[in-house]
Amino acid sequence: MADPTARALRLLSLLQTHRSWSGRELRDRLGVSARTLRRDVDRLRELGYEVSARPGVDGGYRLAGGGRLPPLLLDDDEAVAIAVGLRVAAVQGLGEHTALSALVKLEQMLAPHLRRRVAALQEYAVPAGGRGRAVDPDVVAELALACRDHERVRFAYVTGRDIESSRHVEPHTLVSHGPRWYLVCWDLGRDDWRTFRLDRLSRLLRTGVRTAARELPVDDPSELILATDTDSQTYPLEAVVHLNLPLAEMRTHFGVWSTGATPNEAGGTDWPVGGRSLADLVYGPAWIPPDVAWTVSGTEEAVRALAGFGRRLTEATADADK
């Protein structure tokens, strides 16, 4: 690496990614002599970087903190992450003017394709509480762009029961919910809204086919996560509600909460419900219209819990009939 500037930048990049380097490691990485390495370290110090040296036969170097902040070298993913963070800080009023000032300085240096990634991530990746599980930033960025452009994508997906399938969807929004990232989308194969965990998604392919934007059936995309993420976990209490109501009417009444419901042979609807507690289990059936007849089946524990709650409710309201 003959060019001194390029070599100094490469040295700086190495020092920023490792707590400490031996002189031998740096010379091997850069392909330079000990004398040249010392000159490059001195050049960085002149630019304001505090590079400390460790004495010894082979010596060592590290980039120290403190002092005035010198320029930083960022790769594409790091620059995009910082820009998105600054946008969020500015919007939420966290040091608004300072965040905007720093954002302007950073974004004017970004290449056009990186600015598009930042804009897409900011608009179509929605934090809904908690921190997202680590996923490939390129996948997040590509899906955010597909959401922005209303572009259909294909991918492989593995459910919680280790069943892999191929999906063809129209992406709408990315949501960080609890410890995970989700894609909210219209599933063309199921003709319905679905959510997919990004940590179970692979072989993403943007098709280039763009469509008109679909309107979510809810105001908050997080509601879709709660209603449609049926494969992310199993519940200790699970049951099936058998409604004397055709599936189409059931979907009209329950909206996204009808996900997983199927028609039965009697012309009604079988609707799976579940939860970690009795309160979770009875929440859904409580919304069944009064004029709709229904029965329930399921695990012995779930049915016993529901029956016990029914008896308690009857006893608690016994005086109302007198």
What are the average pLDDT values for consecutive 10-residue runs of the chain, which has 322 residues? 72 72 84 87 81 72 64 71 67 54 66 76 58 61 83 89 87 76 88 86 91 82 63 67 88 74 88 77 80 87 85 80 58
Yes or no: say if 275 and 281 are a contact pair by the CB < 8 Å rule: yes
Give the residue from 166, 200, 228 where a domain finishes: 228
As a whole number of Å, the end-to-end CA separation of the chain is 95
Give the residue from 210, 228, 246 where a domain finishes: 228
For residue 131, what pLDDT is reported?
Answer: 47
The structure tokens listed for 27 are: 């010379």
Q: Is residue 199 part of a domain?
A: yes
Q: Is residue 261 part of a domain?
A: yes
For residue 121, what pLDDT is reported?
Answer: 67
Amino acid at 25: E
The single residue listed with the structure tokens 């031996």 is: 22
Dihedral angle, C-alpha 304, 310, 311, 316, nearest 10 °:
150
Q: Measured between alpha carbons, how far is residue 188 from residues 11, 134, 148, 214, 320 in Å?
A: 50, 27, 18, 12, 50
**Residue 243 sits in the same domain as residue 200:** no
Q: Is residue 117 part of a domain?
A: no
**Residue 244 sits in the same domain as residue 193:** no
Angle at 167 between CA 163 and CA 171, to 5 degrees: 130
**Residue 160 sits in the same domain as residue 205:** yes
Residues 6+ apart with CB under 8 A from 29: 10, 14
**Residue 157 sits in the same domain as residue 219:** yes
Domain that holds residue 28: 4-63
Give the residue from 43, 63, 83 where a domain finishes: 63
**Residue 174 sits in the same domain as residue 244:** no
For residue 96, what pLDDT is reported?
Answer: 47
Yes or no: say if 151 and 207 are a contact pair by the CB < 8 Å rule: yes
pTM of the predicted model over 0.95 = no
CATH code where residue 282 lies:
3.30.70
The structure tokens listed for 18 are: 């490792």
For residue 186, what pLDDT is reported?
Answer: 92
CA 157 to chain CA centroid, Å, is 15
Q: Is residue 68 part of a domain?
A: no
